[in-house]
Structure 1
Amino acid sequence: MHQVAQNSNSQHIEGHFESSAVVRDIVIGLSDGLTVPFALAAGLSGAVASSHIVVLAGLAEIAAGSIAMGLGGYLAARGDAEHYISERHREEREIVDCTEDEEEEIYEIFERYSVDRAAAAPVLASLKQNPAQWVNFMMRFELGLEEPAANRAHRSALTIAGSYIAGGMIPLLPYMLVSDNLAALKLSVIITLIALALFGALKGKLVGTGWLRNAIQTITIGGAAAAVAYLLARLLNGHAS
C-alpha cells in the first residue's frame, strides 16, 4: 500500500535538453574561436620567429572575429524574429479572412498524426473560441515556428562574441607565456587539441550525438586547419626567401 502511494506521488521527469539556442550560439563562437586563431597562430609560426608578432596578430584577429561573429549572430536572430512576426500577422489575417481554409488546415495537421476529423473537431471548436491560441497552434504545427525569446538578438550576439574570445585565447596563451616560438607552437597545439576534444565531447553529450564522435570531429577539423596554415606559411616563406 505504501509502495503504491509512493509510486503515485512520484513525478515523471523527462530529460529533454533545453536552451538549445544558447548552446548553438556557444558552439558557434567556441568552435570558430578555437579553430581560426589556432590556425592563424600556427600559420604565423611557420613564417615568423617572434611570439610577440603572433600574439599581436592573434589578438587583432580575435577582436575582429568576435565582432564579426557577434554581428552575424545578431542579424540572424533579428531576421528570425522579424520572420516570425511577419508570419504571425499573416496567420492572424487568414483565420479571419480565410476561416474555412484555416479550419481545413487544422484537420490536415491532425491527419498527419492519424487523428480523424471527428476526433479533431472538438479541438478545432476550442481553438476557434480563442483566436490567439489558434494562431499559436498554426505557427507551431503548420509553419514549425517558435516565438523567439525577448532580446534574443542581443543575447545571441554577446554569447557568440564572448565564446569566440574565450576560445581564441586558448591557442594564444602559450605565445604569451613562452618566448621561444617553436616551443610555444608545440604547447599551443597540445592545449588547443585538448580543448577541442573537451569541447567536442561536451557538445556531443549535451545534444546527444555521441561524445567520442564529436571529440574526434572537432580535433580533426581544428588540427587540419592549423596544419594546412602552418605548412602553407612555411612553403610560402621558403619561396620568398
Structure 2
Amino acid sequence: MDTAGAPALHQNEPHGNDIAHRLNWLRAGVLGANDGIVSVAAIVVGVAGATSATGPILTAGAAGLVGGAISMALGEYVSVSSQSDSQKALIEKERRELEEEPEEELAELAAIYQSKGLSQATAQAVARELTEHDALSAHLSAELNIDQEDIVSPWHAALASAIAFVVGAILPMLAILLPPENIRVPLTFAAVLVALAATGSVGAWLGGSSKSRAAVRVVVGGALALAATFAIGNFLGATGVV
C-alpha cells in the first residue's frame, strides 16, 4: 500500500488499542495483588491470634498463598476462555457471511459509517476501500469492536493472575514471619494497610476515579478482614479449641 501521502503518526503518542490493553492488564494485576494481600494476611493474622508458634503460621500462610494463586489462575482461565471462544465464534461467523453475502456485508458496513455521520457517498467509498484492504478486519472493528489479533490467551491471563496474587501474598507472609513475636501482628496490620492504600490508589488512577476514596475503601475493608480473623483466632486460642 502506498503511504507516501499519508500523514505520519506522532511517535510519542499512543495509537490504536495498545494503551487500553496495557492498562487493563495492569488493572487486573493490581486487583490480583490486592486479593493476595488481603486473603493471605487474613489467614496468617487469624492463626497468629490463636498461636505464636511460627510453624502453624507459615503452614497456613503457604497453603493460602498456593491455594489462592491456583484459584485465581483457574478463575481467570475459565473466564477468559469463555470470552475467547465467544470472540472466535463471532469472527468465524463474520468470515462466513463475507464469503456468502459480500454485497450485503458491504452495504451493512456503509450503513454503519453513514449512521456515524458520513454522507451516503462518503460512507460507501470508505466501506469499499476498507473492504478492499481487509474486509474481515473492517467488519469486525465496525460491527463488533473486535481485533482478531488481540484475542487474549487464557493461559497468559491465568499466569498473570497467579503471579499478581503471589506478589501480593508475599508481603503479609514476610511481615508476619520476620519480626519478633511481640510486634509481628501490629507490624503486619500496618504493612498490609499501607500496601492496600497503595494498590487502591493505583487502581483508581488507572480507572480515572478518586484515589483517596478508593484507598479508604480498600483500607477499611482490609482492616475489617484482619480484625475479624484475628479476633476469631484469638478467641479460639483463648478457649483452648486450638
How far 1:168 sits from its partner (Å)? 0.5
3-state DSSP class of the match of 2:209? coil
2:124 pairs, out of 100, 121, 126, with 121
Q: Tell me which residue corresponds to 1:223.
A: 223
Please identify, of 81-90 and 42-51, the stretch whose mean Cα deviation from structure 2 is larger: 42-51
How far 1:164 sits from its partner (Å)? 0.8
Q: Structure 2: which amino acid aligns with 1:84?
A: Q
RMSD: 2.9
What are the residue-to-residue correspondences of 1:41-52 with 2, within 5 Å? 41-52=44-55
Q: Would you say the 8 A contact 2:46–2:226 is kept in 1?
A: yes
Residue 39 of structure 1 pairs with residue 42 of structure 2: yes
Distance 1:141 1:214, change over 3 A: farther
Residue 197 of structure 1 pairs with residue 200 of structure 2: no
Q: Would you say the 8 A contact 2:175–2:188 is kept in 1?
A: yes
Distance 1:226 1:104, change over 3 A: farther
Q: Structure 2: which amino acid aligns with 1:116?
A: S
Please identify, of 28-37 and 75-84, the stretch whose mean Cα deviation from structure 2 is larger: 75-84
Structure 2: gaps (5+ residues):
1-7
Q: Would you say the 8 A contact 2:200–2:218 is kept in 1?
A: yes
Please identify, of 28-37 and 210-219, the stretch whose mean Cα deviation from structure 2 is larger: 210-219
What are the residue-to-residue correspondences of 1:1-241 with 2, within 5 Å? 11=10, 13-14=12-13, 17-18=19-20, 19-130=22-133, 133-147=134-148, 149=150, 152-180=153-181, 183-235=183-235
Q: Would you say the 8 A contact 2:109–2:127 is kept in 1?
A: yes
Distance 1:144 1:232, change over 3 A: farther
CA distance in 1, matches of 2:136, 2:220: 46
How far 1:163 sits from its partner (Å)? 1.3
Distance 1:94 1:56, change over 3 A: same
Distance 1:199 1:223, change over 3 A: same
Q: Structure 2: which amino acid aligns with 1:76?
A: S
Q: Structure 2: which amino acid aligns with 1:220?
A: V
How far 1:129 sits from its partner (Å)? 2.1
Q: Would you say the 8 A contact 1:25–1:156 is kept in 2?
A: no
| TM-score under structure 2 length normalisation | 0.81
How far 1:83 sits from its partner (Å)? 2.3
CA distance in 2, matches of 1:127, 1:150: 21
Q: Would you say the 8 A contact 1:58–1:172 is kept in 2?
A: yes
Q: Structure 1: which amino acid aligns with 2:178?
A: L
Q: Would you say the 8 A contact 1:52–1:176 is kept in 2?
A: no
CA distance in 1, matches of 2:149, 2:59: 38
Aligned-residue sequence identity (percent) comes to 23
| TM-score under structure 1 length normalisation | 0.81
